[in-house]
Structure 1
Amino acid sequence: MNLQKIAIAVIYLLVFTQIGIAQSNEHPNVIIIMTDDQGYGDLGSTGNPHVKTPVIDGLAKESLRFNNFYVSPVCAPTRASLMTGRYSLRTGVRDTYNGGATMASNEVTIAEMLKQANYTTGIFGKWHLGDNFPSRPSDQGFDESLIHLSGGMGQVGDFTTYFKGDKSYFDPILWHNNKKEAYDGYCSDIFTDNAIEFIEKNKETPFFCYLSFNAPHSPLQVPEKYYKQYANIDPSSGFKNDDRPFVKMNEKNKEDARKVYAMVTNIDDNLGKLFKKLDDLNIADNTLIIFMTDNGPQQPRYVAGMRGRKGSVYKGGVRVPFYMKYPMAFKGDKDIDNLATHMDVLPTLSQICNVDLPKEKSIDGKSLVPVIKGESINWDHRPLFFYWSRRYPELYNNMAIQKGNYKLVGHTDYDAEIENFELFNIHEDPYEQNNIILNNKNTANNLKKELDYTYKELINSENLVNQPRIIIGSDHENPVILNRNDASGQRGIWDQEEIYGKWKVSIKEGTYNIRFKFIKKVKANGKMYLETNTMVNQIVNQIDDTDIIEMNNIHFSDMDCDLIPFYNIGSKKILPFWVELEKIN
């Protein structure tokens, strides 16, 4: 009788164990690791003899390695496409600042999609898709967020670290669930430690962890112990017998490379801690890990022979490493040469995690699962559109389309003849050195037609034509601080004083107290203006040498407007560094 009970118990245990595995396999944990401005060549696994990345190299060895993986030439567009599976222009993201790095709130992110299966979601690091309601991570599906603002720590939009100068990556003030909090240590260590804590708290249920490092983006700041590992190397050496093109490096480039490699090695050590925690928690097999970078390197250095770097539509700007590891479902250590992009991540996760794709959205990406399974899929003829120019796409300027073996590149005028473009056979000429357009005009013209069609479709996207607005006076965010990253107006708004700037906002009716912060102190007897549609408020500043001017008890009706502030003194019109609006009733 006892033996019978034991046998029944064993059977029940086996059955429920198998059920548990099936349920777990249905909704695996997901970790996306993205680094910032780490180029294809900044890894040992991609042939760099200098940088020390044993953990990432080990991950590459155990992963599905997508060897033809492409992103956008710069940060915010890549992040918008990753999160939505769509070309960034569809989402309203068109720039990295100039008011063009805010994603429309009607977009559906990976985090929101995974919520269908009750995933707990967290982001740690760089968001760069909107710093105010309704475009913050917490508004777009993330349960926990620990981020810096705008495009980078120490940049003008991240006003909590900007004034720290060359120490902005150390002991920073970050935004945890939309509240300012002070942290001790180096930024990459902080983001990793908090991601690990998030994973520990949520190990019993499916989770999505987006660990989005701001390193090795400039400013190039790194703990001394990491820099010392590279202080005496020559980053331009070790390639003499290599027949690939290699960019020339001056002394500043070499010093920048040393710092970048030190920052990458710090990331590698942090990922070692993360992966060990997955093993310790016994969840490594059922955790899907993706490692990728957001674009090419910002500074000249080894990029595996490819032409161009960050901001360029040549391969060096848009081809990045992409490793996917999921032991429970896919055998690793496999090279996949099919064309793939950042837009493919969302539909891939939709299929692997058994959740529906966003409805009523045009998804430009494709699930990579058929390719992973070895099914006969010919995606080499899917067209890929690339562009990069400030503010909005400039027709045929730094613009490209890639399809099959050919890539058409424009660095020319809007009305240029086809001979002024470049055409590359990227199968025979992977480093894009030989322009073959004069002998292949028919191919070039066909590609140009496809380029024209894609360009016209994307620039007429609803979220681009009607740019997302920051909502002021809602219960979700009060006060609201408008930062320079999200200011539009004149091109290239950064930390200039005398420049025309504005913010696209939607104001809720109410009474507000407003503060204007300036980079440098301003003199008294100037006049502070605030224009909102037909309403203009002004006040004479009577405080000398102040960097804060206040306007209190201003009543606004409901309105969509350009919020235009400036301090007029003498012949100068000075744009505030940031504007804080607090609804008081």
Structure 2
Amino acid sequence: MKKAHYLIILALFTAISGGYSQNKKAKGSSNTKPNIIFILADDLGIGDVSCYGSDNNKTPIIDNLAKSGMQFNKAYTAPLCGPSRSRILTGRYAFRTGAVNQDRVAEIKPENEVLIPTVLKSAGYTSAMVGKWSQFGLTPKDFGFDDYLTFQGSGVFWSKEKKKAATYTENGETKELKENVYMPDLMHDHLVKFLDDNKKKPFFLYYSLVHVHALIQRTPDSKPGSDLYADNTAYMDKLVGKLLATLDDLKLRENTLIVFMGDNGTASIYAERGTIGGKALSGKKGSMLECGSLVPTIANWPGVVPAGKINNDLIDSSDLLPTFADLAGAKLPTKNILDGRSFLPQLQGKKGNPKEYIYMELGNKWYVRSAKWKLNRQGELFDMSNAPFEEKLVVDYANNAEASAAYTRLQTVLKEIAPEKGIQDDGDGSGRHASNVNKKKGSKEDKE
């Protein structure tokens, strides 16, 4: 073969190989900048999602997201929305940030805490926050987001439902929520514009959904006499589908990691309908029982996250910041202790370095949990073998070798974490807003 011919063939092979390499990079190589979308559903527990076995709720689009991606069966977050959002965005436990109750979340300042958008900005990411921001003070821009749309309070759907629903804020401008405009649809329109404007550069989208927080109102799809909670769940599912369709239209789906998560367990009376296999779940929103913190969590990224994979590793919402930073190639903040651990290897189908325990807290209560055991602040040990349906108090663990070893191990973990040395709750211990605690009891719906 003549040298000229050889060089031509070599050049062609290199070009083909380079194209193959680029395609592989577009599907998750560490040399690329994949997009990250984090969807946070409001008050959505595992009993609300059909792929987790819900008897009474149907979520076909979210189910398909799990079927074509990875479903986490042991994913936890703080059992109330403000402390949960703080833990998600900072990657830190509440006794470090002060977010031990709803009111204290508003005291978090940008000069003290570094949030996900600031971390990712160092790796060239632009970011948007769309939806619920009410527990945090200041604005999303103050904490590093480049673009945002927020509204006042929780459960804001229609302008006429309550006074604070009359307006919303879009990139610093207060606007009127017009009559017959549905806030979740307005949020969707905003994020579509953000995605379209930023489709040629890496982005992080924090999509903080309205559903299914009370007030449980009619949706644009509701019919007279319909089950409004089912309608709200279905509309949330529909919005996830509309987002996926937008990503397909913009040809962004192949290079985008989507993580879907609930911000805490199901709220109030709606937890009663959230049965699985005919069984009631242990705990709900605001509770330190299992399903106050155990939430639906799904990851999807075509060609990168293994399809149809069920993951039983213990993870918690503090792990999101280091996972996203790991994926983006961003440097972790060093000014504060980070409590999260990256689970990016698991998302890539590898074993990774799973946690041996997770730590949860709210108000003046906390616990540490391993795969089988749970130890709370009072020193009570629970056998969690039948969770999420039952938490069995172990009365005489000293005479049970396995239980005794678990108690010693988890007690050591709590001593190492030392939450009692951090910022303590200054409320009534429940973690709720003081204004809500002082309201008349007997309300059927959880307030924000």
TM-score, with length taken from structure 1: 0.64
Asked if the contact 1:147–1:175 (Cα under 8 Å) also holds between the matched residues in 2, the reply is yes
Among 220, 240, 248, the alignment partner of 2:216 is 220
Q: Distance in 2 between matches of 1:101 and 1:303?
A: 34
CA deviation after TM superposition for structure 1 residue 20, in Å? 7.7
Asked if the contact 1:308–1:317 (Cα under 8 Å) also holds between the matched residues in 2, the reply is yes
Q: Distance in 1 between matches of 2:293 and 2:437?
A: 28
The number of equivalent residue pairs is 412
1:318 aligns with 2:263: no
What is the CA deviation profile of residues 232-291 of structure 1, one whole-angstrom value per residue up to 9, with x for unaligned ones?
Answer: xxxxxxxxxxxxxxxxxxxxxxxxxx3222112111111111101111111101010010
1:285 aligns with 2:227: no
What is the CA deviation profile of residues 402-442 of structure 1, one whole-angstrom value per residue up to 9, with x for unaligned ones?
Answer: 134210235x6xxxxx5xx3x22213555334211323484
1:375–1:491 distance in 2 versus 1, CA, 3 Å: closer
The equivalent residue for 2:148 is 145
Among 185, 189, 202, the alignment partner of 1:189 is 185
The equivalent residue for 1:492 is 434
**Aligned to 2:324, what secondary structure does the other structure show?**
helix
AA aligned opposite 2:236? I
Among 169, 173, 189, the alignment partner of 2:167 is 173
The equivalent residue for 1:264 is 233
Among 388, 395, 409, the alignment partner of 2:362 is 388
Asked if the contact 1:84–1:346 (Cα under 8 Å) also holds between the matched residues in 2, the reply is yes
CA deviation after TM superposition for structure 1 residue 188, in Å? 1.3
1:120 aligns with 2:126: yes
1:265–1:167 distance in 2 versus 1, CA, 3 Å: farther
Q: Distance in 1 between matches of 2:211 and 2:305?
A: 30
1:338 aligns with 2:313: yes
Q: Distance in 2 between matches of 1:433 and 1:85?
A: 27
CA deviation after TM superposition for structure 1 residue 495, in Å? 11
The equivalent residue for 1:103 is 108
Q: Distance in 2 between matches of 1:12 and 1:90?
A: 52
Among 325, 344, 357, the alignment partner of 1:369 is 344
The equivalent residue for 1:408 is 375
The equivalent residue for 2:53 is 47
Q: Distance in 1 between matches of 2:11 and 2:349?
A: 41
**Aligned to 1:292, what secondary structure does the other structure show?**
strand
The equivalent residue for 1:201 is 197
Q: Distance in 2 between matches of 1:168 and 1:219?
A: 13
1:220–1:458 distance in 2 versus 1, CA, 3 Å: farther
The equivalent residue for 1:560 is none
1:409–1:179 distance in 2 versus 1, CA, 3 Å: same
The residue correspondences of 1:61-72 to structure 2 (distance < 5 A) are: 61-72=67-78
The equivalent residue for 1:399 is 366
The equivalent residue for 2:442 is none
Q: Distance in 2 between matches of 1:10 and 1:190?
A: 49
CA deviation after TM superposition for structure 1 residue 321, in Å? 0.9
The equivalent residue for 2:382 is 424
Asked if the contact 2:108–2:137 (Cα under 8 Å) also holds between the matched residues in 1, the reply is no
Q: Distance in 2 between matches of 1:202 and 1:380?
A: 35
CA deviation after TM superposition for structure 1 residue 208, in Å? 0.8
The equivalent residue for 1:435 is 393
Structure 2 unaligned regions, length at least 5: 427-431, 440-448
Asked if the contact 1:95–1:101 (Cα under 8 Å) also holds between the matched residues in 2, the reply is no
The residue correspondences of 1:149-164 to structure 2 (distance < 5 A) are: 149-151=152-154, 153=156, 164=160
1:324–1:496 distance in 2 versus 1, CA, 3 Å: closer
**Aligned to 2:366, what secondary structure does the other structure show?**
strand
What is the CA deviation profile of residues 104-127 of structure 1, one whole-angstrom value per residue up to 9, with x for unaligned ones?
Answer: 312111111111122111011012
The equivalent residue for 1:507 is none
Q: Distance in 1 between matches of 2:285 and 2:275?
A: 11
Q: Distance in 1 between matches of 2:108 and 2:216?
A: 27
**Aligned to 2:101, what secondary structure does the other structure show?**
coil
1:431–1:48 distance in 2 versus 1, CA, 3 Å: closer
**Aligned to 2:87, what secondary structure does the other structure show?**
helix
Mean Cα deviation higher: 207-216 or 48-57: 48-57
1:182–1:57 distance in 2 versus 1, CA, 3 Å: same
1:87 aligns with 2:50: no
Q: Report the structure, 1 or 2, having the larger helix content.
A: 2
Asked if the contact 2:156–2:183 (Cα under 8 Å) also holds between the matched residues in 1, the reply is no
Q: Distance in 2 between matches of 1:429 and 1:222?
A: 34
The equivalent residue for 1:75 is 81
Q: Distance in 2 between matches of 1:430 and 1:40?
A: 10
Asked if the contact 2:282–2:388 (Cα under 8 Å) also holds between the matched residues in 1, the reply is no
RCO higher in structure (CA 8 A, sep ≥6): 2
CA deviation after TM superposition for structure 1 residue 207, in Å? 0.9
> RMSD over aligned Cα, in angstroms?
3.4
Q: Distance in 2 between matches of 1:271 and 1:138?
A: 25
What is the CA deviation profile of residues 512-569 of structure 1, one whole-angstrom value per residue up to 9, with x for unaligned ones?
Answer: xxxxxxxxxxxxxxxxxxxxxxxxxxxxxxxxxxxxxxxxxxxxxxxxxxxxxxxxxx
Q: Distance in 2 between matches of 1:139 and 1:291?
A: 25
AA aligned opposite 1:130? F
Q: Distance in 1 between matches of 2:155 and 2:267?
A: 13
The residue correspondences of 1:29-44 to structure 2 (distance < 5 A) are: 29-44=35-50
What is the CA deviation profile of residues 286-341 of structure 1, one whole-angstrom value per residue up to 9, with x for unaligned ones?
Answer: 01001011000112321534201001111111101111111242322111111111
1:269–1:373 distance in 2 versus 1, CA, 3 Å: closer
**Aligned to 2:95, what secondary structure does the other structure show?**
helix
**Aligned to 1:41, what secondary structure does the other structure show?**
helix
TM-score, with length taken from structure 2: 0.81
1:459 aligns with 2:422: yes
**Aligned to 1:118, what secondary structure does the other structure show?**
coil
